[in-house]
Amino acid sequence: MDNNNGPESTGLMDAAPPVIYSTDYVRYVVGILTVVYIFNFMDRQILSILMEPIRREMHLSDTQLGFLGGVAFALFYATLGIPIARLADQYSRVNLITICLAIWSFMTLLCGMAANFMQLLAARIGVGIGEAGGGPSSHSLIADYVPVQNRATALGIFSLGVPIGLMAGFLAGGWLEQHYGWRAAFLAAGIPGLILAVIFRLTVKEPKRGHSQIEAQIVHADQPSIGQVLHHMRAIRTFRFLAAAAAMQAFAGYSLIQWLPSFLARSHQMSSGDIGFWLAMTIGAGGGIGTLGGGYFADRFSRQNMGWQLWLPGIGSLAGALLSFGVMLAGRPEAVLVFVFAHAIAVNAYLGPSFAATQTLSPVRMRALASALLLFVINIVGLGLGPQFVGILSDLLRPALGEESLRYAILTGCMTYFAAALLFAIAGRAAREDFRHAAKLAAQQ
């Protein structure tokens, strides 16, 4: 089926015979969506490796830096994600992803041209607006291309965009900043995304809703409203605890990842190039292992008990909480980086299973919006409040602790990993019944 430019057919059954996509093509779609997500996360997080030189040039406080890295981005990214996901449940997801990718890439370019704090703030808001439509639309596409028994693995592969995007941002951003300045790093991150937008639009097709589900031969005419989707998902006990757990996980994760380069520069006197290289190696490799492993083992274990789609992330959260002490309190940078590697493996295990569980729990016509609701909670609580909390606490502790204030502010933020572990465990207990009910609803569609 070709890309759609308007609302999809509302008849009870499509007149055309179903389109069969080859395994290689499905792999290509998952692959290019992963590449788009790599750019999504690279453009979002490259600020973290550049915060110290920006702070020095523009004379900013940690509270201002936390606002740039957290609230300014997350407020628009999270809130606009819901109406854009609503469009993704009605219109072509391929077109939406193309437009959003072009917008956030262009706004990343503008970040490199900012002359003051307010201009940089406006450009960061623009990046958030563009990136708001990437995740939910991608999750919905993958759910329609990949059957449920392989969905956590596919979304785990897609979620590799997080560690790989971080790796690319740290590696390129650190090297470019050290040799050419922080503005060049933003420019280098934005230009390739504009080219990728064209390639994506020309090569990816829009599948029928529910294409991966044999049962979903009927497409209902009525599109549920945002309120109906919110009511439906809120009524699912597993989803409520999953969303709360993911929010706590993200709060801790963004508290650490956004400020880790600044911590290494201040407390361990590492250069931008060294920070970028070693964080790329540790977080990139560790995050990739954790993301792939989380999706793979969640699929494997959940064949016996669906609760493992939530228990496995909970185990990762608990390990992440304990490893955070090593990251922040180790005396030598070499030891810090070893703990960072192990930490990245543990805390990234939640990505694939969490998104897969959300897609499985939600009806076909609610998938993009259900994903947006999860991302809304993750990004408002995690991305929005995590870096801001650390920035404010660091400024408050600075009179007593000096440059070491950031160390203890980050460690305090990481303690919400313990809450995430508990909430994932509770969600796993409710999973079997809720997944069974969702499967019955899917069979009736």
Provide the CATH number for the domain around residue 312. Answer: 1.20.1250.20
Does any domain span residue 4? no
Does any domain span residue 5? no
The per-residue pLDDT for 438 is 59
**Whole-number Å distance between alpha carbons of 343 and 385:** 21
The per-residue pLDDT for 190 is 92
User: In tens digits, what is the pLDDT along the chain, a chain of 445 residues?
Assistant: 344 444 444 343 344 445 677 888 889 999 999 999 999 989 988 998 899 899 989 999 999 998 888 888 888 888 887 788 778 777 888 999 999 999 999 999 999 999 999 999 999 999 989 988 887 788 888 888 887 777 777 877 888 888 888 888 889 998 999 899 999 999 999 999 999 999 999 999 888 765 555 444 444 446 677 788 888 888 888 889 999 999 999 999 999 998 999 999 999 999 988 999 999 999 888 988 998 888 788 778 877 777 788 888 999 999 999 999 999 999 899 999 999 999 999 998 888 788 888 877 887 777 777 877 888 888 889 888 999 999 999 999 999 999 899 999 999 999 999 999 999 999 888 777 766 665 555 555 5
Residues in the chain, total: 445
Domain count, the chain: 1
Does any domain span residue 87? yes
**Whole-number Å distance between alpha carbons of 172 and 67:** 23
The per-residue pLDDT for 102 is 95
Does any domain span residue 12? no
**Whole-number Å distance between alpha carbons of 243 and 382:** 11
**Whole-number Å distance between alpha carbons of 82 and 133:** 8
Q: What is the DSSP letter of 383?
A: I
The per-residue pLDDT for 2 is 43
Q: What is the DSSP letter of 112?
A: T
Which run of H or E residues covers position 223?
none
Does any domain span residue 6? no
Residue 87: other Cβ atoms inside 10 A: 17
Query: Residue 169 in contact with residue 45, Cβ under 8 Å?
Result: yes
Nearest C-alpha neighbor of 54 from the set 65, 43, 44: 65
Does any domain span residue 247? yes
Question: Which stretches of 3-53 are assigned E, i.e. beta strand?
Answer: none
Non-local CB neighbours of 45 within 8 Å, separated by 6+ positions: 165, 166, 169, 257, 258
Segments forming the whole domain that contains residue 104: 23-444
Query: Residue 71 in contact with residue 200, Cβ under 8 Å?
Result: no
Does any domain span residue 14? no
DSSP string, 251-282: HHHHHHHTTHHHHHHHHH---HHHHHHHHHHH
End-to-end CA distance of the chain: give it in Å, rounded.
Answer: 21
| 3-class state of residue 332 by DSSP | coil
**Whole-number Å distance between alpha carbons of 137 and 160:** 17
Number of DSSP helices (H) and strands (E) in the chain, helices first: 20, 0
- Residue 56, judged by CB atoms within 10 A of its CB (0-12, 13-18, 19+), counts as exposed
Tokens of 316: 């990762």
**Whole-number Å distance between alpha carbons of 193 and 84:** 20
The per-residue pLDDT for 22 is 81
Query: Residue 212 in contact with residue 146, Cβ under 8 Å?
Result: yes
Non-local CB neighbours of 432 within 8 Å, separated by 6+ positions: 305, 306, 307
For the packed helices 351-361 and 151-158, what is the interaxial angle rounded to 10 degrees? 130
Q: What is the DSSP letter of 90?
A: T
The per-residue pLDDT for 334 is 94
**Whole-number Å distance between alpha carbons of 235 and 369:** 15
**CA angle 390–392–395, rounded 5-degree value:** 105
Does any domain span residue 287? yes
